[in-house]
């Protein structure tokens, strides 16, 4: 167990040394976040690309093939690859040499990923925290607290308003579409009904709608594009989908950000006639910057818990909240309780 003493020793030491493995939007978000955390130093960025081709915010860049040269020089490696193809191998591999953090978010495969990474971490005396971020991550934390406090109730999750990369990709595969952005948008009326205390059956259509901004190719048949989109199985056919045609200039000007967010709501009863509503809401200017901030706080927790003797794989559900904070437990008690 982590004592006050162990924590303050960690804080009193040199900064926590982290590496960012992969420098896409998320990797850059982690580096940005580190500019606001004096207790954490980004020692290096690892990349599969030519290191000379990367422009970071200041962190040195090394090729990922040289990762092993940093053994013993890093407290935590934050794996910033994609879930689909990168992290499933990257995290078990890097965990043979380093404590690690990842944002693996393929919900259905988390138990399998956890088991693989846990085995590697235990075999190599490391600590790894997987699947951090906001969903999975902060939203998972809330679902855990909410269900523990109000066992008699329902949990609802809404995502957005935010850009869904997967749906944007699907739109761009439609013939005649030059470029596209798709926003996932909660059905606000139903969200408000739940917040107001009404248990409702949240079908796919009742929960979210989809708003598309399409730049058509010259001379494309707009009616046909619209029809192909709204009837596209799985992606759009089960939703109310709005299709807007705009110019490339409008897309660049109005839709190049990566906002996202969402809510977790618990509607429960503490006694027969007594309802209680707990809710958590995120309204994020930048999805990758915020996810990077959560990953960086998670790296702090890993460094702390590793110093206190913890090994194997963990998730945010296993981390004492105080471990995410740069402040000492005594300071937190005096200021936050």
Site for a copy of itself in 100-129 (CB under 8 A): 107, 110-111, 114
Minimum separation from the CB atom of position 57 to a copy of itself (A) = 10
The nearest distance, CB 162 to a copy of itself, in angstroms, is 12
Closest by Cα among 97, 77, 81, 86 to 24:
81
- Write out the binding residues for a copy of itself, residues 207-236 only, by CB under 8 A: none
**Residues in 147-206 at the binding interface with a copy of itself, rule: CB under 8 A:** 147-152, 195, 197
- Bridge partners, 163 (sequence order): 183
Residues in the chain, how many? Answer: 337
Closer Cβ to a copy of itself, 244 or 270, answer by number: 270
Q: Can you tell me the distance from the alpha carbon of 83 to that of 302, in angstroms, rounded to the nearest whole number?
A: 20
Helix or strand (DSSP H, E) at 282: strand 274-284
Report 240-299 residues binding a copy of itself (CB under 8 A). 270-271, 273-286, 289-290, 292-294, 297
Closest distance to a copy of itself from the beta carbon of 235 (Å): 24
Nearer to a copy of itself, 21 or 325 (CB): 325
- 316-335: which residues touch a copy of itself (CB under 8 A)? 316-322, 324-327, 329-330, 332-334
- Nearest approach in angstroms of CB 167 to a copy of itself is 22
- Residue 143 CB, nearest distance to a copy of itself (Å)? 4
- Using alpha carbons, list the distances in angstroms from residue 72 to 17, 62, 98, 120: 10, 16, 8, 17
Contact string (CB under 8 A) for a copy of itself, positions 59-98, x = contact: ----------------------------------------
Q: Name which position in 10, 21, 37, 128 contacts a copy of itself (CB under 8 A).
A: 37
What the block records as the tokens of 89 is 């191998």
State yes or no: residue 140 binds a copy of itself (CB under 8 A): yes
Q: Which residues make Cβ contacts (< 8 Å) with residue 18, sequence separation at least 6?
A: 30, 34, 40, 41, 42, 43, 74, 75, 76, 77, 78, 296, 299
Query: Using CB under 8 A, which of the segments 30-38, 71-79, 180-188, 214-222 binds a copy of itself?
Result: 30-38
Question: In this chain, which of 300, 302, 303, 304 binds a copy of itself, going by CB under 8 A?
Answer: 300
Structure tokens at 31: 């580096």
CB 129 within 8 A of CB 136: no
Nearest distance from C-beta of residue 335 to a copy of itself, angstroms: 8
Per the CB < 8 A criterion, the answer to whether 310 and 50 are in contact is no
Work out the angle at residue 92's Cα, subtended by the Cα atoms of residues 164 and 101, and round it to the nearest 5 degrees. 55
> Interacting stretch for a copy of itself, rule CB under 8 A, among 42-50, 68-76, 200-208, 302-310?
302-310
Minimum gap (Å) between residue 132 Cβ and a copy of itself: 10
**What is the closest distance, in whole angstroms, from the C-beta atom of residue 94 to a copy of itself in the complex?**
20
Distance CA 207, CA 272 (A): 27
> Can you tell me which of 44, 94, 131, 182 binds a copy of itself, judged by CB under 8 A?
131
DSSP 8-state code for residue 95: T
Residue 241 · residue 210 · CB < 8 Å: yes
Half-sphere exposure in the Cβ direction for 7 (13 Å, CA): 19
4-12 and 287-307 are packed helices; what angle lies between their axes, rounded to 10 degrees? 120
Among 17, 126, 143, 208, interactor with a copy of itself by CB under 8 A: 143
């Amino acid at each position: 167990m982590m004592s006050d003493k162990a924590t303050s020793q960690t804080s009193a030491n040199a900064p926590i040394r982290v590496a960012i493995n992969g420098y896409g939007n998320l990797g850059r978000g982690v580096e940005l976040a580190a500019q606001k955390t004096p207790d954490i130093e980004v020692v290096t960025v690892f990349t599969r690309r030519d290191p000379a081709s990367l422009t970071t915010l200041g962190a040195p860049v090394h090729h990922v093939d040289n990762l092993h040269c940093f053994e013993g020089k890093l407290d935590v490696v934050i794996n910033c690859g994609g879930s689909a193809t990168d992290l499933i191998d990257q995290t078990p591999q890097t965990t043979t040499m380093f404590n690690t953090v990842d944002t693996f978010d393929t919900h259905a495969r988390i138990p399998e990923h956890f088991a693989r990474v846990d085995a590697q971490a235990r075999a190599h005396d490391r600590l790894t925290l997987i699947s951090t971020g906001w969903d999975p991550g902060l939203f998972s934390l809330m679902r855990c607290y909410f269900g523990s406090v109000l066992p008699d109730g329902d949990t609802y999750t809404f995502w957005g308003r935010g850009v869904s990369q997967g749906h944007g990709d699907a739109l761009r595969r439609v013939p005649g579409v030059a470029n596209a952005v798709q926003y996932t948008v909660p059905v606000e009326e139903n969200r408000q009904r739940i917040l107001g205390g009404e248990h409702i059956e949240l079908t796919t259509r009742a929960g979210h709608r989809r708003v598309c901004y399409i730049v058509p190719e010259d001379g494309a048949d707009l009616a046909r594009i619209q029809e192909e989109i709204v009837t596209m199985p799985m992606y759009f056919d089960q939703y109310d989908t709005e299709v807007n045609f705009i110019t490339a200039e409008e897309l660049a000007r109005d839709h190049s950000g990566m906002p996202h967010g969402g809510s977790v709501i618990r509607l429960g009863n503490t006694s027969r006639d007594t309802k209680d509503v707990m809710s958590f809401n995120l309204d994020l200017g930048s999805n990758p910057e915020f996810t990077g901030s959560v990953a960086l706080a998670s790296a702090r927790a890993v460094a702390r818990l590793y110093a206190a003797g913890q090994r194997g794989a963990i998730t945010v559900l296993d981390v004492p909240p105080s471990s995410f904070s740069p402040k000492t437990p005594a300071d937190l008690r005096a200021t936050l309780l």
